[in-house]
Structure 1
Amino acid sequence: MPGKAIRARGVVQGVGFRPAIWHLAREFGLTGSVWNDAEGVMIHVHGDAAALEGFAAAIPKQLPPLARLDALEISDLVEEAADSEFRILASQSGRAETAIAADAATCPDCLADIADPGNRRYRYPFTNCTHCGPRLSIVKRVPYDRCHTSMAAFAMCPACQREYDDPADRRFHAQANCCPVCGPKLWLEAASIHTLGEGMQLEPLGGSGRWSVQDGVPTQSVGTMSGMNEFIRQTADLIRQGYIVAIKGLGGFHLACDAGNAIAVDELRRRKRRYAKPFALMARDVDTIRRYAAINDLELIALQSTAAPIVLLPATGEQLAEAIAPGDDKLGFMLPYTPLHALLLAELHAPIVLTSGNVSDEPQCISNDEAREKLVGIADFLLLHDRAIVNRLDDSVARLMAGEIRLLRRARGYAPEALTLPKGFESSMPVLAMGAELKNSFCLLKNGQAIVSQHIGDLENAAVQQDYRHAIALYRQLHAFTPTCLAIDSHDGYLSNQYGRQLAAETGLQVVSVQHHHAHLAASLAEHGVELDAPPVLAAIFDGLGLGEHGELWGGEFLLGDYRHYTRLGHFQPIALPGGSQAMREPWRNAYAQLRHYFDWQTLQSKYADLEIMRLLAGKPLATLDTMIDKTLNSPLSSSCGRWFDAFAAALGLHPEQVHFEGQAAIAMEVLATPVFSYEQAYPATWSMDRSGDFLVLSWQGLWQAVLDDLACGTDKARIAARIHHTLAAATVGVLNRLSGQTGADSIVLSGGVFQNRLLLEAVSEQLRQQGKTLLSPQRYPMNDGGLALGQAMIAAARHH
């Protein structure tokens, strides 16, 4: 009887792939076996030729939800069939290095289980199966067996063990499998005796349990199913009453309150010391979200995906508390992605705020003790459980822009999914890329794949640095990874750079220094599968700043490049940053520096004295700034597009004194421009392409003149903001078209954090596509610095080739 050997590569271990093959083989009447090994999954099958052909063709069409098939290699089997049925065998060649899948939102089958009164997992908040539940968040080391996860503390009961051992069961080898008898337990604590004292009305809610003081903490200590259900109902009641509750989730703690209660939301901002950045929201279902925001088909697919990210949606309809997203026209919604969230939201008909459980700028709390210590001044109550979170995972954030869902933060639900490298990188050396300073992630390049970590955060915070080092060590262990090269950003001040050099000194590894904007370019090439030896592409890389070739600060760059090399062809007019990093926090400094550069200040002051921006600047220490700029004292020149946006935002009165988070002023200008954007157009002839040595330099004197004149005429600021956006888009397209004519390059990368501006990205993309250009903009990896490590790794590998 003929036989086939079939090698499956990709995300095929720990995701129910072998049971799917078992079912499929039985369906086609085949005999043989399937097993895991160090390369993926191996299948040996015997049967008639037509059945074998049908079986192989069906594999890619009937994958389990969390599986990803990168390759299916088929060859003939010489040996005869040795069995009369199809079996799942133990791993060959010892225990395989099991790839860790991303944590996945609760599947429909598990949601049905917890909703069925006749099911033994009815309302059990830790229900999961092979198709959903925790993965990266609970794993300590490989292979990915239960004993190497935080579920090792929970021995399976006989009923769960039978499911785990049965190939026909969807919980076959589900490492987090559990039930109310043998799994994690849930309970509720008051943050302090003082909290409980203020909330004596809670006593009637006790139901199956009463408050008692344990180790100084008022606790509802009942761990039975009825007790856990009561705690969930109590938590919903607390939220309705205006309390703030810390909830231990999948990858960390969240802080929850009623999104319609303005007092509660304001209090959460005050306690958390997060005064402006929008809060994330969770709603029970799509119909609830539609009461507050518009959702199109692509956004709906993202919301309901196994990754279940926060999706930024246009705010419409009913109003929530104003402080949820102050000054923004978007709401960040997600759907419940664990049984606990589903059960809690089923008790609440309105959305809740569900923001990271931390003090601003610190990483999320992940342990109960850490939450008790750090969140006591923020949360009134804590909903806790005893399944340990091993690896911190923030919620991922996505936005629909230019016809695609694009990740702005890549974490839970996506990491550590690997990217198959383009042609030419199959035998690349192992590279560890350290990432950037802000929005850090790191990358492992191994065996033709790039594994980019979850969002780590801003390394300026000591706790985030510690988390960063822990995560690098864990990823190296999980993937049995020993790099031969370290890739770092060229900015010596980056803490990721410093740690990279420390590792290199300790291990003797080679270090490759990568220019910041070249890394953005290379990351886009990798994501879009551009081959190693493909011709160079043009790129517009717009961001806050990155170190240039000779110590300059870049940020509005036009490049021609591939994986190995790049050439800077053009840039924004470099303008001083008076005060250095202070200019990143105080937009008025950028406005003054721009106006001073392009005009005689005294003339400008007399002509536009009545303008709001001029009155504001008149009260600033301009003589000191003049001295700093003239003598280049803490006033480096920068071509930053981010600071360009800050300057114009300040001129329009948008956060001129101070921004509370990165990009706040630019976001405000996008929000202001959006309602009228389609009715406006660029200011005519208000930018110029000047030649400075080998570079085209974009200058903006005409744009500033037009904006000041519009302000003086009392033109609506929304219209001015829209015209500024259109002008930047037109200038960008103009430069790229000119450079395309000079170089012959018709493929163009648009990347960098500034292109998270939907108006800019869509306007530039649409005009370039109309002219026949091919666009390569990030989608699966952030275009901000969260995607930088991928580009660093690709450049290091390409240079080695």
Structure 2
Amino acid sequence: MTYFAVRIHITGIVQGVGFRPFVYNLAGKYEINGWVTNNASGVTIEAEGYPAALDGFITALKTQAPPLAVIETITVKTAPVSGYTGFTIKTSEEGQAKTALISPDVAICDNCLNELLNPADRRYRYPFINCTDCGPRYTIIKDIPYDRHATTMDNFVMCQACRAEYENPANRRFHAQPNACPVCGPAYRLTDRTGQLLADNSRDVFRAARERVAHGAIVAIKGIGGYHLAVNARDGTAVARLRARKVREDKPFAVMAGSMAAITAECMVSAADGQLLQSAARPIVLLAKGAGYSLADGIAPGNRYIGVMLPYAPVHYLLLEAQDIWGMTSGNASDEPIAYEDADAVERLKDIADCFLIHNRDIYCRADDSVVRTVFDQPYFIRRSRGYVPAPVGLARAMPPVLAVGGELKNTFCLTRGKQAFLSAHNGDLENLPTYQSYIAAIEHFKKLVNVTPQIAACDLHPEYLSTKYAAALDLPKVAVQHHHAHIAAVMAEHNLDGPVIGIAFDGTGYGPDGTLWGGEFLVADLKDYRRLGHLAYMPLPGGAKAIKEPWRMAVWLLNELYGQDFVRLNLPLARNLPAGWELVLAAVEKGLNTPLSSGAGRLFDVAAALLGIRQVINYEGQAAVELELAAQGLTGKVLPYSAGEVGDTWELDFKPVFAALCQALRQGAAVPQLAADFHATLAAAIVAVAGKIGNATKLNRVVLSGGVFQNVTLLTQVVRMLEQHSFTIYLHRLTPPNDGGLALGQAIVAGERSR
């Protein structure tokens, strides 16, 4: 029988996931001779054997790959027979174009967890246990190919036992780059805020940290992607102390539970929620509080939902017992980036944390926890970061190399390479200087990791965004993409849609080409361009950005529009408790002083919340809208009068009649929760009505929904169901967030398409 040889090249996430040992063992099974190696674009195999054996080997490569591997392409070419004896793993190749994909950081696998908790195992209670199926990846990688010397493990020389595992193809730690043990690997220490050692390289360090949390202390814990601030979630005094020290008045804290049983005792968990919670990515999952909810009020004050995650790093299992639930929030002061470097963490967190649980393995790339919820039993991102980055979004066709710099808030950036779009981890709000500095450094590192030299810079139209200014300073051709077009294009890219579609982009603020602030937009869009066929009626923002933080300003303007100065005598919550300076607000609007016009849908929620007495001043972005939705939940709303008319060739949706109806109902004693539900029902009906008019005019039936307002699941659910009743096909975000965290993907796609 004739002996054949083939050269196989595999791309995808095939480094750092046990792929080479998998190939090695598969070769033994099929009696294949040759070799396998990592290179900068993936994995290359030279295989010699009989035809049937080669066929079985190649099929098994596709169907039996390790759990963390993601194969994108397999190329098989005939090669000359070299007469290899046996099968070997060759040293990684250098000097080629670096296009290999890097695995995200993933949770500890079951095998490692069993060893971690087994007193007979040599890695019993060792907090850095890992294998090729689990552990840190993206956060420790400095360069590719993915080998130990290119990670932050390069300072730790493997002991004889670890080296034997690393070199044994039959061992699941074969070429596991972070491989280590208590003899040769990183270690934790516990210090007070002055650096005084409290406990060190022993099992007592975790017991000591746990006891401090149990007694009300706030402990800063260095994990995989940065520092967390941990507190006993059932200790109201400790939670209040953390909230005060972190200067975080109302925004909920996430929690980490020691087990699924602890979560189900506190929250309502669907089957889809459970899958997300226990997935290898281990995101924070937003869950409704259950009947047995018992955590401190300060964890998620006034909120029916709470962000929950399960342990994902070995250290979490050493700290939390099964019944425990700890508040586990990012290690930062409000609005700052998460701390990940030890000296910086101690300096920035010393006035918040009582002590520090620190390890001596560097984090190279910070990564916040991802935040996801389930919508229609599928994941719906709020923040895409640890566990998902840097896995790419696959594109329908190849793009030129684009750097899309994202927006100002909830920033991410995006790099394109061929048919792949690489969205960065969550950066945060660029108006914070440390965040902006971190953002610039992250772009440079990301360009190196994915080996992209951008040829085009894509940015938002807003000239004052720091990301736009950063793009302007680059020596590259610029493509400015309208904010809401980018939102719609991001969803289209996820679903490989070309267009045209009806795009409904509802958020708070996005710069319009007419110089106003858009935010309630009905577009007909493809990947290159768009037409604006509808929008919310413009309203002034008295005081500009101040109006967003103080919703009462727009509400006072609106009451004056509806009732004149007589509104002060009406029996309305806002009229009964008018904030100081309200007359100056009206005077400023009258004179046109610092009162930009906005069609933002987020502002409708602000006005409704202020009119109903729910929220006059916000302490975090979107708080008024969040609390308005919470008030409405569980109630069926009725549709109030609204106005939708044509102005030229554009539909304009005016909610003044809605606000007038809300005020009238309030004066007649209607319940605020019911009116909140009526507002949601009316907005959903109005959205669908305008979409229907645009659909009739354009003969389009594909609708794309995007923008931060569609994080409101009450509104989203109603809109989707009503659109389906009108025979529309609906597309939602599934791989990126609907908020500005997904903006860069849309910018990149539009810029790439326009450059063709």
Bucket of the pairwise TM-score, normalised by the shorter protein: over 0.9
Deviation, structure 1 residue 183:
0.4
Aligned AA for 1:111? Answer: L
Deviation, structure 1 residue 82:
2.3
CA distance in 1, matches of 2:241, 2:94: 57
Q: What is the aligned partner in structure 2 of residue 375 from structure 1?
A: 349
Q: What is the aligned partner in structure 1 of residue 156 from structure 2?
A: 154
Deviation, structure 1 residue 479:
2.3
Q: What is the aligned partner in structure 1 of residue 339 from structure 2?
A: 365
Q: 1:642 aligns with which of 602, 608, 612?
A: 602
Cα deviation per residue 1:455-500 (whole Å; 9 max; x = unaligned)? 0000111110111011011111222321111111110110111111
CA distance in 2, matches of 1:551, 1:695: 17
Q: What is the aligned partner in structure 2 of residue 683 from structure 1?
A: 639
Bigger shift: residues 398-407 or 174-183: 398-407
Q: 1:256 aligns with which of 230, 248, 255?
A: 230
Q: 1:218 aligns with which of 196, 199, 220?
A: 196
The 5-angstrom pairing of residues 302-317 of structure 1 reads 302-316=276-290, 317=292
SS at match of 1:517: helix
TM-score, normalised relative to structure 2 = 0.96
Aligned AA for 1:683? Answer: V
CA distance in 1, matches of 2:726, 2:583: 48
Q: What is the aligned partner in structure 2 of residue 126 from structure 1?
A: 128
Aligned AA for 1:36? Answer: N
Deviation, structure 1 residue 683:
1.9
- Which segments of 5 or more consecutive residues in structure 2 lack a partner in the other structure? none
Q: What is the aligned partner in structure 1 of residue 9 from structure 2?
A: 7
Q: What is the aligned partner in structure 2 of residue 524 from structure 1?
A: 491
CA distance in 2, matches of 1:683, 1:303: 37
Is residue 475 from structure 1 mapped to residue 446 from structure 2 by the alignment?
A: yes
Cα deviation per residue 1:678-731 (whole Å; 9 max; x = unaligned)? xx23325x1121111221000113212221122122222111111111111111
Q: 1:652 aligns with which of 612, 628, 631?
A: 612
CA contact 1:490–1:513 (8 Å) conserved in 2: yes
SS at match of 1:668: helix
Aligned AA for 2:632? Answer: A
Q: 2:309 aligns with which of 334, 356, 375?
A: 334
CA contact 1:130–1:171 (8 Å) conserved in 2: yes
CA contact 1:575–1:593 (8 Å) conserved in 2: no
CA contact 1:402–1:765 (8 Å) conserved in 2: no
Cα deviation per residue 1:641-687 (whole Å; 9 max; x = unaligned)? 0111011011121121x1011011111111111122xxx23325x11
Q: 1:594 aligns with which of 550, 558, 562?
A: 558
CA distance in 1, matches of 2:405, 2:89: 40
CA distance in 2, matches of 1:332, 1:478: 31
Q: 1:54 aligns with which of 53, 56, 79?
A: 56
Q: What is the aligned partner in structure 2 of residue 796 from structure 1?
A: 751
Bigger shift: residues 647-656 or 783-792: 647-656
Is residue 616 from structure 1 mapped to residue 577 from structure 2 by the alignment?
A: yes
For residues 149 and 5 of structure 1, do their structure 2 counterparts lie closer, same or farther at Cα, with a shift above 3 Å needed? closer
Q: What is the aligned partner in structure 2 of residue 627 from structure 1?
A: 587
CA distance in 2, matches of 1:630, 1:49: 84
CA distance in 2, matches of 1:747, 1:49: 48
Q: What is the aligned partner in structure 1 of residue 105 from structure 2?
A: 103
Q: 2:395 aligns with which of 413, 421, 430?
A: 421
Is residue 117 from structure 1 mapped to residue 119 from structure 2 by the alignment?
A: yes
The 5-angstrom pairing of residues 150-299 of structure 1 reads 150-192=152-194, 217-220=195-198, 222-223=200-201, 227=202, 229-299=203-273
The 5-angstrom pairing of residues 525-604 of structure 1 reads 525-530=492-497, 534-597=498-561, 599-602=562-565, 604=567
Aligned AA for 1:466? Answer: Q
Q: 1:515 aligns with which of 469, 482, 487?
A: 482
CA distance in 2, matches of 1:167, 1:593: 72
The 5-angstrom pairing of residues 11-90 of structure 1 reads 11-75=13-77, 77-80=78-81, 82-90=83-91
Q: 1:450 aligns with which of 418, 421, 446?
A: 421
SS at match of 2:298: helix
CA distance in 2, matches of 1:625, 1:62: 67
Q: What is the aligned partner in structure 2 of residue 395 from structure 1?
A: 369
SS at match of 1:690: strand
Is residue 436 from structure 1 mapped to residue 411 from structure 2 by the alignment?
A: no
Report percent identity of matched pairs: 43
CA contact 2:553–2:582 (8 Å) conserved in 1: no
Cα deviation per residue 1:485-529 (whole Å; 9 max; x = unaligned)? 111111011011111112x2xxx3111111111110111111112
Deviation, structure 1 residue 138:
1.5
CA distance in 1, matches of 2:723, 2:76: 42
CA contact 2:372–2:382 (8 Å) conserved in 1: yes
Deviation, structure 1 residue 78:
4.7
Deviation, structure 1 residue 328:
0.6
Is residue 661 from structure 1 mapped to residue 620 from structure 2 by the alignment?
A: yes
CA contact 1:163–1:172 (8 Å) conserved in 2: yes
CA distance in 1, matches of 2:151, 2:48: 36
For residues 5 and 596 of structure 1, do their structure 2 counterparts lie closer, same or farther at Cα, with a shift above 3 Å needed? farther
Q: 1:493 aligns with which of 447, 464, 468?
A: 464
Cα deviation per residue 1:744-776 (whole Å; 9 max; x = unaligned)? 111111000000001111111112123322211
Aligned AA for 1:665? Answer: A
CA distance in 2, matches of 1:574, 1:546: 13
Aligned AA for 1:710? Answer: A
Aligned AA for 1:722? Answer: A
- Which segments of 5 or more consecutive residues in structure 1 lack a partner in the other structure? 193-216
CA contact 1:649–1:669 (8 Å) conserved in 2: yes
Cα deviation per residue 1:115-159 (whole Å; 9 max; x = unaligned)? 111111110011111111111211223333222222111111111
CA distance in 2, matches of 1:269, 1:690: 47
Cα deviation per residue 1:161-199 (whole Å; 9 max; x = unaligned)? 12222222211222111100000111111224xxxxxxx
CA contact 1:590–1:644 (8 Å) conserved in 2: no
Equivalent residue pairs, number: 752
CA contact 1:100–1:136 (8 Å) conserved in 2: yes
For residues 114 and 800 of structure 1, do their structure 2 counterparts lie closer, same or farther at Cα, with a shift above 3 Å needed? same
SS at match of 1:393: coil
CA distance in 2, matches of 1:186, 1:416: 27
SS at match of 1:487: strand
Q: What is the aligned partner in structure 1 of residue 293 from structure 2?
A: 318
Q: 1:135 aligns with which of 134, 137, 150?
A: 137
CA distance in 2, matches of 1:38, 1:751: 36
Deviation, structure 1 residue 84:
4.2
Q: What is the aligned partner in structure 2 of residue 408 from structure 1?
A: 382
Aligned AA for 1:40? Answer: G
TM-score, normalised relative to structure 1 = 0.91
Cα deviation per residue 1:347-396 (whole Å; 9 max; x = unaligned)? x6320001111111111221222222222211111111111112111111
CA distance in 2, matches of 1:719, 1:570: 28
Q: What is the aligned partner in structure 1 of residue 728 from structure 2?
A: 773
CA distance in 2, matches of 1:355, 1:393: 13
Q: What is the aligned partner in structure 2 of residue 212 from structure 1?
A: none
CA distance in 1, matches of 2:545, 2:84: 70
Alpha carbon RMSD of aligned pairs, Å?
1.7
SS at match of 1:333: strand
CA distance in 2, matches of 1:44, 1:584: 61
Deviation, structure 1 residue 790:
0.7
CA distance in 2, matches of 1:731, 1:709: 20
SS at match of 2:577: helix
CA contact 2:7–2:79 (8 Å) conserved in 1: no
For residues 540 and 717 of structure 1, do their structure 2 counterparts lie closer, same or farther at Cα, with a shift above 3 Å needed? same
CA distance in 1, matches of 2:55, 2:661: 68
For residues 468 and 93 of structure 1, do their structure 2 counterparts lie closer, same or farther at Cα, with a shift above 3 Å needed? closer
CA contact 1:7–1:74 (8 Å) conserved in 2: yes
